[in-house]
Structure 1
Amino acid sequence: MAVRAVRGATQLEEDSRDHMLERVAEMVTGVMEANGLVVDDFISAIFTATSDLVSEFPAYAARQLGFGEVPLICARELEIERSMPRVVRMMAHVETDLPRADITHVYLHGAAALRRDLTRTRDVPDA
């Protein structure tokens, strides 16, 4: 079994606690589903948020999904001029049999525009 890094990102419409938890949970479960992962496959995860998101820790959404024993940390994203607002990013380290080229990185909502060069992305329309 190999250790792989898998990325995810999502953009929020507004900075509210419920919206943060909903969008981050959607991103985390999307990464899990796209790569056939379960919580026990996760070694650790790093979440970053842009400075305009202050309503909740993104990692709390993962905790609510059962990541209680997985080391998680949150950090502030760099403030770069013209960067996309209201974005949460995740980089998780996982154990998987997937080859590196088969890892699916999940970019949702407006964040789908961030890394089209990296791998497959998907834009989820707002409900």
Structure 2
Amino acid sequence: MFTIRGATTINEDMKDEILNSVEELLSKIIEANNIDKEKIISIIFSATKDIKSVYPAEGARKMGITNASLMCLQEMEVENSLERCIRVMLLVNGDKNQTEVKNIYLRDSIILRPDILEGK
């Protein structure tokens, strides 16, 4: 088993924008890591307190991830932290080494992992 991390941000707390952003993020993670959706064991979503319109997990279900366990949590509130942010952690059944994993950070969320940007 291995894990993949990622995050994205939204401009407004609107259902369609949240679902589209989650689908974009998960699609990029799946593509970059060559993952079979059926090998996803679970996905943990966290969202900042300013995201209230829809559970991010609905975006995963909408794109056909129906056998994995999904859980949504509220992100810990930290002063001056990134707003309107959705983070994910996928647990995937497979033998990929963690050093081979491509974590994906979109839009403003790249500030969460400057080390990834520096590696490009």
Question: Counterpart of 1:89?
Answer: 87
- C-alpha displacement at 1:16, in angstroms? 0.3
Indicate the structure whose relative CO is greater, using CA pairs within 8 Å and at least 6 residues apart: 2
SS in 1 for 2:28: helix
1:74 to 2:72 alignment: yes
Of Structure 1 and Structure 2, the greater helix share is in 2
TM-score of the superposition, structure 1-length normalised?
A: 0.89
Query: RMSD across aligned C-alpha pairs, in angstroms?
Result: 1.3
Q: CA deviation at 1:48?
A: 0.3
Structure 1, unaligned stretches of length 5 or more?
Answer: 122-127
**Once the two structures are superposed, what CA deviation does each residue of 1:3-31 show, in whole Å capped at 9, x if it has no partner?**
00100100001110000000010001111
Q: Tell whether the 8 Å contact from 2:8 to 2:87 is kept in structure 1 after alignment.
A: yes
Number of the residue aligned with 2:61: 63
Which residue of structure 2 aligns with residue 110 of structure 1? 108
* More moved, 45-54 vs 107-116: 107-116
Aligned-pair CA distance for 1:98: 2.3
CA distance in structure 2 between the partners assigned to 1:4 and 1:114 by the alignment: 21
CA distance in 1: counterparts of 2:117 and 2:63, whole angstroms: 24
Shift, 1:102, TM fit: 0.9
2:49 alignment partner in structure 1: 51
Percent identical among aligned pairs is: 36
Task: Report if the CA contact (8 A) 1:106-1:120 is conserved.
Answer: no
Q: Which runs of 5+ in 2 are unaligned?
A: none
2:96 alignment partner in structure 1: 98
